[in-house]
Amino acid sequence: MDTTPGTAATTQATDMSISLFDMMDSLSTALDLINPALSDHHKLTCYVTCCIAEEMGYGGDAYNDLFAASILHDIGAIALSDRMKLLEFEERDAHLHGELGAVLLSKFPPFRKFAPLIKYHHVPWQDGAGAEFRGQPVPQGSHLIHLADRVAVLIDRNKPVFEQVPEVRDKISMLAGATFMPELVEAFLEMSRKEVFWLDFVSRDMNKVLRKKSRLGSVSLNIDQLVEMSQFYALIIDTRSRFTATHSSGVAATAERIARLWGFDELHGKKVRIAGYLHDIGKLAVPDSILEKNGSLDLVEWRAMRSHTYHTFQILDTVDGLQDIAVWASQHHENLDGEGYPFRNTGNEMPVESRILAVADVFTALAEDRPYRTGMADGKVLEILHDMVEKRKLDGRVVDLLIANIEEVQEVRRNAQSSEQASLTDFWDAARNNVSDG
């Protein structure tokens, strides 16, 4: 049902509740899209981590912290151009992505406590020397994730698993003391005697397996917590490309302001903001060579780029309670004339929230500074927006609302992007300095 500015129907609920497990699972799925060869790597590492932790008697917050850290353990690798090395048993410069991951996690207070677990998850044990790294204590959980991560890359799920078991167990056993903490290896060897461990590992429904392992199932997020978590996701998304380093935060702030000007209530406005933060999460499936290309995309590259909205929908639609946000976020490249993508929806099929997101996305892209150009002046931005309205690419009512409040919307956008830029300064510094293990 469509509405007109100032008469928008308000959301009936006063809040919303989303499963923390579902949100973390969706991010894990998105991270694995970075490289198809890494299919389910984060989830598999999390599964092995949980199995070893159970064998060792971990419980309570310690178990939940390991679950969360392991399912996100390679989050820092999104800023690295060479991700295939994550598949190699012996990595080179392994500590870089752990360092970057810790920097990212430190930006989100609820996840800050996971930062040390991820920061040190490639420190070798070295007969006890690995209890510290660069003068800092290394949590046992980091060593546990290290072992689980390496087990995960040794198994080829496309081959009969039990034919691989003896070799995997032997290799891990041989590395006890030198690479892995001996008591962790002992727990792995005992736990891995169970056929169910290996059968679950090669299950084609790892989400179901992990849901049983998770103890986060009863933990939910309210609307403000979801906004905060989505903002954290935006940080991750925007580190993929230097060309769009703070784009998601700009779209989110712009979209929420327009939504409130339209007449939506506070809760509905926050939901639109969440959609703005998450609208480009599908770009994690687009290769760096395309995102960072300095020039026009060819047909094959353009098709790959256009697929990001499809992936955005698939990632978000799996989260129970986020289905409407999944629709709004994934339709930000749809046009009123039905020539957008990926659904080819017409104006009648696009909810007003999707139309707001579409305008916010174009406006932010034109107005924001990029490495190869400064943001366009208001006059030029408005000229392009008017042209897109005339060609039935954007909703004229949404554009008119933006134009009538251009100074206010610009201030909101600039403040949001400036805040994100400041938040990511140390991340970019660490990436540029190419932190290594020395």
Interhelix angle for 223-238 vs 20-32, to 10°? 10
What is the pLDDT of the chain when averaged over all its residues? 89
3-state secondary structure of 346: coil
Could you tell me the residue ranges of all domains in the chain?
Answer: 20-213, 222-431
**pLDDT score for 88:** 54
Which pLDDT belongs to residue 218? 65
CATH 1.20.1050.10 at 222-431, yes or no: no
**Tens digit of each residue's pLDDT (9 = 90 or more) over 343-367:** 999 888 999 999 999 999 999 999 9
What pLDDT shows up at residue 152? Answer: 94
The dihedral through the CA atoms of 98, 102, 108, 111 has a sign that is positive
The pTM assigned to this predicted structure is 0.89
Do 222-431 and 20-213 fall under one CATH topology? yes
Residues of the chain scoring pLDDT < 70: 1-4, 6-14, 36-38, 79-94, 217-218, 371, 431-438
pLDDT at 84: 43
CA distance 178 to 127: 6
Kindly tell me the sign of the dihedral angle through the C-alpha atoms of 116, 117, 119, 122: positive
Amino acid at the residue 206: M
Helix (H, G, I), strand (E, B) or coil at 394: coil
**According to DSSP H, which parts of 120-246 are helical?**
140-154, 165-174, 182-191, 195-201, 206-213, 223-238
Q: Please give the CATH topology (third level) of the domain spanning 20-213.
A: Hypothetical protein af1432 (1.10.3210)
Question: How much is the pLDDT for 291?
Answer: 83
